[in-house]
Amino acid sequence: MNKKYILDTHMHTTSCGHGYSTIKELAIEAAERKLELICITEHSGLVPRAFFKDIMDVPNQLYGVEILKGAEVDIISSSGDVSLADKYLESLHVIIASFHRSLIDPKSKSENTQTLLNVIKKHGKQINILGHLDDLRFEIDYDLICKTAKENNIAIELNDSSLNPNKGRLTSFENILELLNTAKKHNCYISIGSDAHNAWKVGSFENAIKLIEASKYPEELILNTDINKFKNFLAK
Ligand SMILES: [Zn+2]
Ligand SMILES: [Zn+2]
């Protein structure tokens, strides 16, 4: 475990139906791996709506690890709608917005890009992170999206699971490096997320670390190195 990266911004629990661990198990593993903070970012399209109300009753600290309550919301229409009501987009601590094929069909590069621009236009104040933009099944214009993300104080995710063949994403080390280099050109913040669907993956950043080294990403723009930097970013 690289001690430099002390928080993990993206993970799932048993509640979504394809996670294998509870919040408690994720927190225990995070503590063992010396993480200081984790974000529980359940798939908004896969859990009952009440989940995002009741998750607020989960303690803010478990086993010495701070717990932020969030969601990974699905982009569900080309006009920029996402799969979570405004009241939860505003009450949760961290919001990741992602394309998932189960809820929207991939289109051409220019159409996917326009969809994402519409999401930012409609929900830019509520969204903190754009999730796994490296998936070439949803090809987008990296330059335009990184520029717009920066203008709206939205981070670009470096998703450690994207290179896991089980995820089924269409990507490569070179493609993710291109995304990172474009984000760097626009001075975008990046957030490293394990996208763990089981406790053993929490804080696993092996792929992400190789990519950060290859891109020489500036440390001040990596949100995972400091809790206050991350919280200040979320407070936009
Ligand atoms: Zn996702
Ligand atoms: Zn995810």
Nearest bound ligand to the CA of residue 71: 2
Q: Is 105 left (phi over 0), alpha (psi -120 to 50) or beta?
A: beta
Q: In this predicted structure, what is the pLDDT of residue 16?
A: 87
Give distance in angstroms: CA of 215 to centre of ligand 1: 23
Distance, in Å, from the CA atom of 196 to the CA atom of 202, rounded to the nearest integer, reads 6
Give distance in angstroms: CA of 132 to centre of ligand 2: 8
Note down pLDDT in tens along the chain; length 236 residues. Answer: 557 999 999 999 999 888 999 999 999 999 999 999 999 999 998 888 889 999 999 999 999 999 999 999 999 999 999 999 999 999 999 999 999 999 999 999 999 999 999 999 999 999 999 999 999 999 999 999 999 999 999 999 999 999 998 888 999 999 999 999 999 999 999 999 999 999 999 999 999 999 999 999 999 999 999 999 999 999 97
Give distance in angstroms: CA of 193 to centre of ligand 2: 9
Give distance in angstroms: CA of 151 to centre of ligand 2: 24
Write b or e for each residue in 134-168: b if 16 or more Cβ atoms lie within 10 A of its Cβ, otherwise e. Answer: bbeebbbbbebbbbbbbeebbbbbbbbbbbeeeee
Cα–Cα separations (whole angstroms), residue 52 to 16, 23, 62, 85: 12, 14, 18, 10
- pTM above threshold 0.85: yes
Give distance in angstroms: CA of 76 to centre of ligand 1: 13
Give distance in angstroms: CA of 50 to centre of ligand 2: 19
Give distance in angstroms: CA of 97 to centre of ligand 1: 8
Give distance in angstroms: CA of 217 to centre of ligand 1: 23
Give distance in angstroms: CA of 189 to centre of ligand 2: 19
Give distance in angstroms: CA of 107 to centre of ligand 1: 18
Q: In this predicted structure, what is the pLDDT of residue 62?
A: 98
| The pair of three-digit structure tokens given for residue 99, joined into one six-digit string | 């394309």
Distance, in Å, from the CA atom of 73 to the CA atom of 95, rounded to the nearest integer, reads 7
Q: What is the 3-state secondary structure (H, E, C) of 18-68?
A: CCCCCHHHHHHHHHHCCCCEEEEEEECCCCCCCHHHHHHHCCCEECCEEEE
Name the class of domain 7-234.
alpha beta
Give distance in angstroms: CA of 192 to centre of ligand 2: 12
Give distance in angstroms: CA of 131 to centre of ligand 1: 6
Nearest bound ligand to the CA of residue 194: 2
Q: In this predicted structure, what is the pLDDT of residue 46?
A: 86
Give distance in angstroms: CA of 133 to centre of ligand 1: 10
Distance, in Å, from the CA atom of 144 to the CA atom of 105, rounded to the nearest integer, reads 21
